């Protein structure tokens, strides 16, 4: 449903800035009915990619297909099958919930019984039923986000793009929004691509894509990505991080990764972490602040993939 082929985007040089490549020969696919999350550090190119997918920017080279339509030559066809929830609010906060939905329906030529049917279907999952006459700026952040999603769902999109839609929401509102989004995605068979930097949001999706410096570093299921760094990992906080990293490498022959003030020994199989931990304790106890064994999460995958690409904070091999 989303087919990106050899996409490149270069921002031209300005008076005081050189030309900058935001996306470099990127290819990626999101299959029909998949829920995919796109992530990357600041400056990774994910915002540029999102703008291109939405039709807000033209790439320097490459092709993008949405539901079988060419985004560059058939933009009107793409808009018919795609919905977008932007990070910045795209509702009029001075109007009521009902007025925002009516304006959106009018933009898409919906009126009468068909409009009311789609509006009611789009509101069915929300907590907005008794708040239709309430102005959006009086709603909580979570309810305002529900208005955004209900508005987009009125056009029954086949492909839904969301740009960090949970930004600014409290943990309960974030969970409720995501739970509803997953239910709707499955019930409607939508293809969803959502940008996010919160990896707790990615555990239940079909695929996770990670970008850095305009390139796609990883794109796979959450389970497969976690398996990249083993089933267990040893995490150490040291009194002198760099000194202990050198000692573990030179004296014990261990591959160590420095992540902030932590040392990590990754790619460890189940059952092998405990003997390794005991060995480190036996030799280096006085150098440690703490040592533990953990199962890797997607946040660990993110650190592993993005730091490996730039060889950042890595000691050993």
pLDDT number for residue 183: 93
In this predicted model, which residue has the larger pLDDT, 269 or 260? Answer: 260
Distance CA 122, CA 150 (A): 5
Distances (CA, A) of 309 to 4, 217, 234: 22, 8, 21
Residue 310 reports pLDDT greater than 60: no
pTM given for the model? 0.85
Strands (E), 40-172: 61-66, 69-70, 82-85, 159-163
pLDDT number for residue 317: 28
Distances (CA, A) of 224 to 46, 182, 228, 233: 22, 21, 7, 16
pLDDT digits (tens, 9 = 90+) for 110-166: 999 999 999 999 999 998 989 999 999 999 989 999 999 999 999 999 999 999 999
Residue 314 reports pLDDT greater than 60: no
pLDDT number for residue 230: 76
pLDDT number for residue 247: 92
In degrees and rounded to multiples of 5, residue 308 shows phi and psi of -65, -35
pLDDT digits (tens, 9 = 90+) for 190-247: 999 999 988 888 889 999 999 999 999 999 999 999 888 877 888 999 999 999 999 9
Pairing status of strand 314-315 against strand 256-259 = antiparallel
Strands (E), the chain: 2-11, 20-30, 35-39, 61-66, 69-70, 82-85, 159-163, 191-195, 207-212, 215-220, 232-238, 256-259, 262-268, 288-294, 314-315
All domains of the chain, ordered by start, with CATH? 2-220 (3.40.50.300), 229-315 (3.30.70.80)
Q: Which residue in 129, 188, 183 sits closest to 153, CA to CA? A: 188
Distances (CA, A) of 46 to 22, 49, 91, 212, 213: 9, 5, 24, 8, 9
In degrees and rounded to multiples of 5, residue 69 shows phi and psi of -105, 145
- Residue 28's pLDDT band, with cuts at 50, 70 and 90, is very high
In this predicted model, which residue has the larger pLDDT, 27 or 200? Answer: 27
């Amino acid at each position: 449903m989303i087919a990106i082929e050899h996409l490149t985007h270069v921002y031209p040089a300005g008076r005081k800035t050189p030309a900058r490549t935001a996306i470099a020969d990127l290819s990626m696919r999101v299959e029909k009915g998949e829920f995919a999350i796109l992530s990357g550090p600041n400056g990774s190119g994910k915002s540029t990619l999102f703008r291109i997918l939405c039709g807000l920017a033209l790439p320097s080279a490459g092709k993008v297909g949405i539901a079988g339509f060419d985004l560059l030559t058939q933009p009107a066809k793409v808009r018919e099958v795609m919905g977008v929830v932007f990070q910045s609010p795209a509702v009029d906060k001075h109007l009521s919930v009902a007025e925002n939905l009516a304006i959106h329906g009018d933009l898409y030529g919906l009126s009468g019984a068909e409009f009311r049917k789609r509006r009611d279907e789009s509101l069915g999952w929300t907590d907005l039923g008794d708040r239709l006459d309430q102005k959006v700026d009086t709603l909580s952040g979570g309810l305002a986000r529900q208005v955004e999603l209900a508005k987009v769902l009125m056009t029954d999109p086949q492909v839904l793009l969301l740009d960090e839609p949970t930004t600014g929401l409290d943990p309960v509102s974030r969970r409720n929004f995501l739970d509803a989004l997953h239910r709707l995605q499955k019930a409607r068979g939508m293809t969803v691509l959502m940008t996010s930097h919160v990896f707790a949001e990615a555990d239940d999706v079909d695929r996770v894509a990670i970008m850095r410096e305009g390139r796609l570093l990883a794109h796979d299921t959450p389970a497969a990505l976690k398996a990249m760094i083993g089933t267990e990992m040893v995490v150490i906080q040291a009194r002198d991080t760099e000194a202990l990293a050198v000692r573990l490498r030179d004296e014990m022959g261990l591959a160590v990764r420095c992540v902030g003030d932590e040392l990590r020994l990754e790619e460890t199989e189940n059952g092998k972490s405990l003997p390794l931990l005991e060995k480190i304790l036996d030799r280096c106890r006085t150098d440690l602040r703490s040592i533990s064994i953990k199962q890797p999460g997607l946040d660990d995958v993110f650190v592993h993939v993005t730091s490996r690409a730039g060889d950042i904070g890595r000691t050993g091999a």
